Amino acid sequence: MQIQTNASLRSYHTFSIEQSCDVLVEASSIEDIQHCYTSHQWQALPKLMLGKGSNMLFTEPFQGLVILNRLFGIRVTESTECWHLHVAGGEDWPNFVKWSVEQGYLGLENLALIPGCVGSAPIQNIGAYGRELKDVCEYVDVLDLESSEVKRLSAHECLFGYRDSIFKHALYGKAIIVAVGFKLDKDWTPQIAYGPLSQFEVTSVSAKEIFETVCQVRMDKLPDPSVTGNAGSFFKNPVISKQQYQCLLEKYPAIVAYEVEDGMKLAAGWLIDRCDLKGFTLGGAQVHANQALVLVNKGNATAQDVINLADHVRQTVWNKYGIELEHEVRFMGATHETNLQTLRGGLK
């Protein structure tokens, strides 16, 4: 277990904005994590478990203990109909998906190149191109911070929703994800209903073709965080009622939307783009010129620049469409998580 004090966080989150924390620990075992939460020397400190930092904006210096997830390992078993993969929480998600396709464990290919680690994936119920984590998740192993024991939650118990799960609600701050179990059908069925995948034929497409197509689309549309600091899609796609959608459709016939169980899901990127915000800059932060859903650090952005830009985007979309955008990126304050509404107030 490696320990640093007054440590820089710049290289541990993909926005690459200079920020610091009181204590930084690299945890390579469950015992290391247990020690962080039970040690008397750190008992009074706020604590944050951090994977790849790909969905995080530190709004100010973190006055607590940041624990880097360095739990690694993959174990594969099989049943008659499925492959069962037990994957440690610190494994890199893009590398894991690439490995699974190469090994012939199919079903994750639509989720290629989503940044982050395996342990973060269930929190957001990550998804892309018609596939969500909940579709392939068998269980999630968590370290219960009250009992200091590892417990297993079934996928059903995780209460997965759109970019949502029990880990954002009832188990927020009470459990750490240490491993995820995946159940992949041996009788693989391709998911090709969305976007560029619809060009394929279900009877002939391979998982490798889907994987490579998704990777290419993401590389073409999204900036590489190792080159340009960003946290991927900054805002969630809003879900509105069908009645509200019909009203908007009459005024904006080209509006992009998909029917979902509880209404219509709008493309947040389309809304931002149609507000002529691509390339819009505040301080060192910018709405990406090619993908309006992504806010980037042009190289010298402060956290406040990103906050100001996100609020401007939120307010502009509200003024034009009457739709409030909710940020997908987590905002971490000095001692606890916060959000744009708390920092900048309600919409006008």
**What SS3 string covers 252-288?**
CCCCCEEEECCEEEECHHHHHHCCCCCCCEECCEEEC
**CA-to-CA distance for 33 and 143, rounded, in angstroms?**
9
User: Are the C-beta atoms of residues 96 and 75 closer than 8 Å to each other?
Assistant: no
Say which of 20, 163, 209, 326 is annotated catalytic: 163
Q: What angle do CA 182, 188, 194 make, to 5 degrees?
A: 90
Tell me whether residue 138 is one of the annotated catalytic residues: no
Say which of 91, 233, 274, 314 is annotated catalytic: 233
Tell me whether residue 218 is one of the annotated catalytic residues: no
Q: Is 141 exposed, middle or buried (0-12, 13-18, 19+ CB in 10 A)?
A: buried
Say which of 138, 209, 328, 337 is annotated catalytic: 328
Tell me whether residue 328 is one of the annotated catalytic residues: yes
User: Are the C-beta atoms of residues 100 and 82 closer than 8 Å to each other?
Assistant: no
Give the active site residues.
163, 233, 328
